[in-house]
């Protein structure tokens, strides 16, 4: 019997090689994630949006450019009198003190939110990439297990053929093995299509074709031996969603204050030369323009709307804190359950299935068990092997979910790796 692959050492998946003329080093999950971060178009769009919002701050919270006005009396000019037909004016609008600063605060908050949106998109994309890698590994692992099963069926067929030749077994046993092998082969063909589909998903996330193979190493969870996952608090201060909610509340507060300042008038100053006046002392003009905020009902409604928006953002912040705590607690619980399931599969179920298979193989050779019993034991052994390997995948997925819930990067160089031969940590 070929040595069973333990959950943390799951071999290499020989995926299709696009345009590969020779073997290349397998792409690990961290290398794949780095490729996704570098080339994923959605991340590039979020990064560009952050840059745009950051640059727009400089254009916000400043007075408008000054205005230069020139006028001429066309009828007088047409009669040839050019001495008193000109008017030139330079004007500048000035907002009430504090309005520009509040708009700048709002723009700063928007830029900060764009940055946090990019950070959230980065974490989401990394988690999505790792989960897609796990889906690819899942199909590959089942194919590998079924290939183990076909190898075992070859051994079963040899023993059965020897029994038929010696007259101890019936030809039906050989036919049963052929049927079983055909069914397993059909399953492998179906899973090959799924493997190609998950490979396509990986390439879509990476923004292009992947060269070489994709490794199916399942790294351990990012928790030291003996440490309790419950001791890892949700890092709320690092959560981009929480930061966005804080910034949205800050923006709403600035908008509410700006709505109140709208009660005060904006100003405009101007100076000009008007040669249309007959007396020269009147040619130079200077003055002030003031808008009159007389529509109190409209301004009161705007203040009420801004206050309601600020209250809404405050409540959303409270809800976001509770949601992120819930997500972290759920991820921790899922991780504990996955760890227990993996431990049960590796320590109890898989060894039992192996012993039962070995026992029935010997019993069949001695004429004390039927072919159906041996084939069923072979199926049970493969099922136990898959259960153990998928428990590692489940644990990996749970670790990815916990890292996302705590706004942390989960990379292999931060993990305690399992021993390649024993699978022990």
pLDDT of residue 83: 67
pLDDT at site 67: 93
Query: φ and ψ at 212, to 5 degrees?
Result: 85, -160
Q: Does the pLDDT of residue 6 top 70, yes or no?
A: no
- How far CA 328 is from CA of 79, 117, 120, 400, in Å, comes to 84, 19, 15, 11
> Using one digit for the tens of pLDDT, what is the confidence trace for 372-383?
988 898 889 888
Tens of pLDDT, residues 254-271: 888 888 888 888 899 989
To the nearest whole percent, how much of the chain has pLDDT over 90? 14
Segment 349-353 mean pLDDT = 90
d(CA 33, CA 129) in angstroms, rounded, equals 6
Taking the CA atoms of residue 95, residue 96, residue 98 and residue 103 in that order, the dihedral angle to the nearest 10 degrees is -40
The CA-based dihedral angle spanning residues 390, 396, 401, 402, taken in that order and rounded to the nearest 10 degrees: 130
Does position 8 have pLDDT exceeding 70, yes or no?
A: no
Which residues fall within 8 angstroms of residue 359, CB to CB, at 6 or more apart? 377
- pLDDT for the residue 219: 52
Structure tokens at 109: 């908050």
Residue 235's pLDDT is 58
Across the range 309-332, mean pLDDT stands at 86
Angle between helices 171-206 and 99-165 (to 10 degrees): 160
Asked whether the predicted pLDDT for residue 25 surpasses 80, the reply is no
pTM for the full predicted model: 0.73
Averaged pLDDT score across all residues of the chain: 79
For residue 234, pLDDT over 70 is answered with no
Q: What is the pLDDT of residue 228?
A: 38
| CA 386/CA 380 separation, integer angstroms | 10
- Side-chain half-sphere CA neighbours of 393 within 13 A: 20
Placement of tokens 């039962």 in the chain: 356
Burial 311-330 (b: 16+ CB within 10 A, else e): eebeebbeebbeebeebbee
Give which of 194, 182, 177 is closest to 135, Cα–Cα.
194
């Amino acid at each position: 019997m070929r040595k069973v692959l333990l959950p943390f050492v799951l071999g290499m998946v020989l995926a299709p090689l696009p345009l590969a003329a020779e073997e290349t080093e397998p792409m690990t999950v961290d290398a794949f994630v780095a490729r996704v971060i570098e080339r994923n178009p959605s991340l590039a769009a979020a990064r560009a949006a952050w840059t745009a919002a950051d640059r727009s701050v400089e254009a916000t919270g400043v007075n408008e450019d000054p205005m230069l006005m020139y006028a001429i009396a066309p009828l007088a000019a047409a009669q040839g009198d050019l001495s008193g037909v000109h008017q030139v004016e330079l004007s500048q609008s000035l907002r009430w003190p504090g309005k520009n600063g509040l708009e700048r605060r709002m723009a700063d908050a928007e830029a900060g939110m764009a940055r946090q949106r990019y950070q959230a998109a980065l974490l989401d994309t990394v988690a999505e990439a790792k989960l897609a890698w796990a889906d690819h590994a899942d199909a590959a692992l089942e194919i590998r297990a079924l290939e183990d099963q076909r190898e075992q069926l070859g051994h079963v067929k040899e023993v059965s053929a020897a029994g038929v030749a010696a007259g101890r077994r019936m030809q039906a046993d050989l036919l049963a093995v052929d049927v079983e092998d055909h069914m397993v082969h059909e399953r492998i063909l179906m899973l090959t299509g799924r493997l190609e589909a998950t490979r396509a998903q990986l390439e879509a996330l990476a923004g292009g074709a992947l060269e070489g193979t994709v490794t199916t190493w399942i790294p351990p969870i990012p928790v030291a031996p003996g440490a309790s996952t419950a001791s890892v608090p949700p890092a709320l201060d690092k959560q981009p969603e929480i930061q966005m909610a804080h910034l949205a509340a800050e923006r709403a507060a600035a908008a509410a204050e700006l709505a109140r300042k709208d009660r005060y008038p904006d100003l405009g100053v101007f100076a000009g030369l008007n040669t249309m006046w007959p007396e020269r002392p009147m040619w130079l003009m200077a003055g002030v323009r003031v808008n009159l905020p007389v529509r109190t009902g409209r301004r009161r409604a705007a203040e009420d709307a801004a206050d309601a928006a600020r209250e809404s953002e405050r409540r959303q912040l409270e809800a976001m804190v509770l949601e992120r705590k819930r997500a972290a607690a759920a991820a921790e619980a899922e991780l504990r359950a996955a760890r227990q399931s993996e431990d049960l599969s590796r320590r109890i179920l898989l060894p039992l299935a192996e012993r039962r298979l070995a026992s029935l193989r010997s019993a069949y050779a001695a004429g004390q068990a039927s072919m159906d019993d041996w084939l069923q034991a072979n199926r049970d052994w493969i099922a136990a092997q898959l259960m153990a390997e998928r428990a590692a995948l489940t644990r990996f997925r749970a670790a990815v979910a916990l890292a996302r819930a705590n706004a942390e990067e989960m990379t292999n160089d931060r993990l305690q790796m399992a021993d390649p031969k024993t699978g022990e940590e």
